[in-house]
Amino acid sequence: MGKLFLAAVGLCAGEASSKKLPHLVFVLVDDMGHNDFYSSSDLAAAWPNVARLAREECVKVESYYTQPICSPTRGAFMSGRMPVRLGLQHGVIAGHQDYGLPLDEATLAQKLSAAGYSTIGVGKWHLGMYNNASLPMHRGFDHWFGYMNGAEDYFTHEVGGYLDLHDDEQVDRTRNGTYSAQLFGNQVVRRIQEHKTLNPEKPLFLYFPIQNVHAPVESPTEYSGSSACKGIPNADRKTFCGMAHAADEAIGNMTAALEAAFPGEDVVMVIGGDNGGMPGMAGNQCPTTDSADCLRGHKAELWEGGIRNNALLCSKTMLPAGRKGKTYSKGLVHVMDWHATFRSLAGAKDKADKPLDGMSVWDAIAQDKESPRTEFLVNIDPCSGHGTCGGQVAAYHYQGCLGGPSHQARCGHWKLIDGVVQTDSWYALPTSTSAAVPSTEAEASYGVPTIGGGVAFPPSTANTTYLFNISADPGEHTNLATLYPSVVVALKAKVEALSKEVYPPCNIDGGSCSADDPASAAALKANNAWVPWVAEKVARHPSAIVV
């Protein structure tokens, strides 16, 4: 690890033994659309702290990708592996379902803990809570404050009428009425200060998957009524602006606490989203429908609007001065690459039987070199849609040439979407009198958020193969499948090869964990809170599921 680490931070060999490993921070902004961050066409003023960081300490990642929905993105980051290897490729983990991130997967928190890190988590887990073994405190975190489901009320911290707020392994019943961004931001600061006092010799891994800006659309007026949001004409978008402003305040307080606790020490931080925004919940990835930045679709879809997001890689001490404030545009970066990057910076090891799909991108971004990533599987979902199974749908990104060097017309940033069951459109910013209204062709697939944090879509009969050149057509307007059939064949072959390595999801229609586990209702009622309900000795593990 030493030589790699020295190359990354530019130290000489004599300094390595005495220098503390870098503190590692990962901030995940929930349901942040492509046009919802600090460079947004209408929300930029809501992100002053992040904007300052972006100018002074960070590199913006241009071609950054996640999974289309919450649990798969979190699983990819925590494991460094594709969701199809985790059984997380279909939808999200709903509250009463008895499955989660497989227990034989080593999480990043576990790897960093083994490498000598203190590990702190604050915010949204959403990787399983049916048994104790699935909870953050049993997946490598020394401390966790937050909630286990996918969505909850920002003030009552309830989901479906039951409290979901946990301080380590205890239900916290004292926070009713406290807005979650303020609550979670304060907890982050508390834990940073506590770490400095109790474990000053150890590096810190801080995971901050903040609730904002996920539905429901809720914000105190101190944020939505601020000068940063006063010019937003649509009421929901104005509240959404307040949610973004509250997230920015929490991030600003966090970075100030890090600076105070670790002056002059190395801190590496990533700030990014987990999937596209929901237009019906005031999220946006399309400033105007004629903009080059207008992405098609939204959260839970394989279109770019569902998976292309925002990310900043930041470090005051470890990034070269000439890279700060710049944009990295030399290739693809995927959320699972942050797992590999953090692991590499920390010298953490992997279990021999669980190879990573993520790749370390530190050198590429810090030195402005070509990304080691030229391709990735977006997803293979055997049961597209929700409810009645709509058949398999898959998507794949590939940057390069297919067909050999003599076929230069076959070079590009290719994206295959195969078997799509929901066509969608482009959603411009809402006006003062209307919400974001899609075109007529998209209305049939417009999503409705569910209590468990998922999104329900009615299935359609469409079954089409799409091929796009994303570098020339980021908005996915022109289907090139008939023009370049050999590219389609090559990308389908890649999908087919990976389909042989799929870990079957149990939550598809008719699957063994697709329905609510009736035992959960009794446990919730008895505790008046969300708690694990399956005893470890009888816990059903996804590896035993037959689909």
CATH number at residue 47: 3.40.720.10
Q: What percent of the chain has pLDDT over 70?
A: 86
What residue has token string 């964990």? 513
Mark whether 202 and 227 lie in a shared domain.
yes
Position 531 in a domain: no
- Whether the predicted pLDDT of 166 surpasses 80: yes
Mark whether 169 and 229 lie in a shared domain.
yes
Mark whether 264 and 360 lie in a shared domain.
yes
The C-alpha torsion from 161 through 162 and 164 to 165, rounded to 10°, is 110
Which pLDDT does position 535 carry in this prediction? 87
Total Cβ atoms within 10 A of residue 324: 17
Residue by residue, what is the 3-state secondary structure of 383-402? CCCCCCCCCCEEEEEEEEEC
Mark whether 152 and 198 lie in a shared domain.
yes
pLDDT, tens only, 485-528: 999 999 999 999 999 999 999 999 889 999 999 999 999 999 99
CATH number at residue 455: 3.30.1120
Q: Which residues contact 200 (CB under 8 A, 6 or more apart)?
A: none
Return d(Cα 260, Cα 346) in angstroms, integer.
22
Give me the catalytic one of 23, 34, 96, 126: 126
State the residue range of the domain holding 122. Answer: 21-374
Mark whether 369 and 388 lie in a shared domain.
no
Return d(Cα 109, Cα 399) in angstroms, integer.
31
- Whether the predicted pLDDT of 443 surpasses 80: no
Span 414-442, mean pLDDT? 73
Mark whether 356 and 395 lie in a shared domain.
no
Position 148 in a domain: yes
Return d(Cα 272, Cα 432) in angstroms, integer.
28
Amino acid symbol at 253: N
pLDDT, tens only, 523-543: 999 999 999 999 875 444 343
- Whether the predicted pLDDT of 438 surpasses 90: no
pLDDT, tens only, 281-332: 999 999 998 898 899 999 999 999 999 999 999 999 999 999 999 999 999 9
DSSP reduced 3-state for 210: strand
- Whether the predicted pLDDT of 16 surpasses 50: no
The beta strand positions in 358-473, using DSSP E, are: 375-381, 393-401, 411-420, 448-449, 455-456, 464-469
Mark whether 167 and 276 lie in a shared domain.
yes
Of 326, 349, 374, the one marking the end of a domain is 374
Phi, psi of 23 (to 5 degrees): -70, 140
Of 458, 478, 499, the one marking the end of a domain is 499
| Number of folded domains that form the chain | 2
Mark whether 293 and 337 lie in a shared domain.
yes
Which pLDDT does position 348 carry in this prediction? 85
Beta-ladder partners of 375: 398
Confidence of residue 77 (pLDDT cuts 50, 70, 90): very high
Mark whether 86 and 233 lie in a shared domain.
yes
Position 516 in a domain: no
Give me the catalytic one of 58, 70, 506, 513: 70
Mark whether 335 and 403 lie in a shared domain.
no
Average pLDDT across the chain, whole number: 89
Q: Which residues contact 468 (CB under 8 A, 6 or more apart)?
A: 414, 415, 417, 476, 478, 479, 480
pLDDT, tens only, 345-362: 999 876 667 899 999 999
The predicted model scores a pTM of: 0.91
Mark whether 346 and 395 lie in a shared domain.
no
Position 341 in a domain: yes
Position 511 in a domain: no
- Whether the predicted pLDDT of 243 surpasses 80: yes
What residue has token string 């073994």? 133
Task: Pick 63 or 387 by higher pLDDT.
Answer: 63
245 is catalytic: no
Position 149 in a domain: yes
Span 420-446, mean pLDDT? 63
Of 374, 399, 417, the one marking the end of a domain is 374
Position 515 in a domain: no
12 is catalytic: no
- Whether the predicted pLDDT of 10 surpasses 90: no
Position 247 in a domain: yes
Task: Pick 278 or 431 by higher pLDDT.
Answer: 278
pLDDT, tens only, 392-402: 999 999 999 98
Mark whether 341 and 460 lie in a shared domain.
no
